[in-house]
Amino acid sequence: MGAQLRVYKRRIKSVTATKKITKAMEMIAASRVVKAQRKVAASTPYATELTRAVTAVGTGSNTNHPLTTEPETATRSAVLLLTSDRGLAGAFNSNAIKAAERLTARLEAEGKEVDIYIVGRRGVAHYNFRERKIAEQWTGFTDEPSYADAKKVAGPLIEAIEKDSAEGGVDELHIVYTEFISMMTQSAIDGRLLPLSLEEVAEESKSKGEILPLYDFEPSAEDVLDALLPRYVESRIYNALLQSAASKHAATRRAMKSATDNAGDLINSLSRLANAARQAEITQEISEIVGGTAALADATAGSDK
């Protein structure tokens, strides 16, 4: 076997092993994204109804509360960025990071200080590499987040929003995550969690033909909002974590399918080159045999004379 043919066969063997790995990762991601979709579908109605309840309470009262009241002058904002712990997901993490950087630039252009909170090793690594300050970070649960993880993330954010900005607190809370739209489409979006925009939610409900319920408050609207604040933040963060996890698995599945298809094309190309090299070797061997036979025949004829 010629040296060139050995190189082709070695590369074919290597690419075949890689193809098996990417195919297995594609199948794992496909199974995980179905579970994540179910969790998203189960959590979304709760988060939506809780938002409507908070809106109804805020609309029906004049209570000054960080959950529903716009500050006169916002000077400090918190941005929660959701990324993944692992890569191999195409542009999933880079799109979320770019969205967070655009949001940060916009807030800073408005004259606000920005505190960055990050979920996921990829986001943490990005900011650490660029030596940017991170207020809080969480890792290790992005593939299968639980409600306990959401509570863990929400805790420092709720403390920050309840503090006065002069004491290190924040006036606004924004979140950047990847919304799961379909298996083929995931979009990095940013939204403001606090204070809740009552007008936007009310307009959205009105456009859907929904009527916000009326409540009697016992003991007071402020106590109700105090009780709803952690639940609202936790539920929205939990839903965003699930959306992000489903998007990541879908992105991984798509990336691994593309890698598997590319590996198959490369194997076919290398196989054709290996066949061509083998044919060239065979042709050369035949030529050498024919040439040797002709030389032997000429030598025999010369000795007979």
Q: In 10 A of CB 220, how many CB atoms?
A: 11
Res. 304: pLDDT tops 70: no
31-48 mean pLDDT: 88
Q: Give the whole-angstrom CA distance, residue 114 versus residue 134.
A: 10
The pLDDT value given to residue 248: 93
113: enclosing H helix or E strand: strand 113-119
Res. 206: pLDDT tops 60: no
Mean pLDDT of the chain: 84
Domain ranges of the chain: 3-22+260-293, 26-257
The pLDDT value given to residue 210: 60
176: enclosing H helix or E strand: strand 172-180
Band of residue 212 on the pLDDT scale cut at 50, 70, 90: low
How would DSSP label each residue in 54-96?
HHHHHHT-----TTTPPPSS--EEEEEEE--S---STTHHHHH
Q: Give the whole-angstrom CA distance, residue 154 versus residue 163.
A: 14
The pLDDT value given to residue 290: 79
CB 243 within 8 A of CB 78: no
User: pLDDT tens for residues 40-53?
Assistant: 888 888 888 887 77
Q: In 10 A of CB 204, how many CB atoms?
A: 15
- CATH fold, domain 26-257, is Pyruvate Kinase; Chain: A, domain 1 (3.40.1380)
The pLDDT value given to residue 292: 76
Band of residue 214 on the pLDDT scale cut at 50, 70, 90: low
pTM value is 0.81
Coil/strand/helix, residue 140? coil
Res. 159: pLDDT tops 60: yes
Which two structure tokens, joined as six digits, stand for 187?
């979009």
CB 170 within 8 A of CB 160: yes
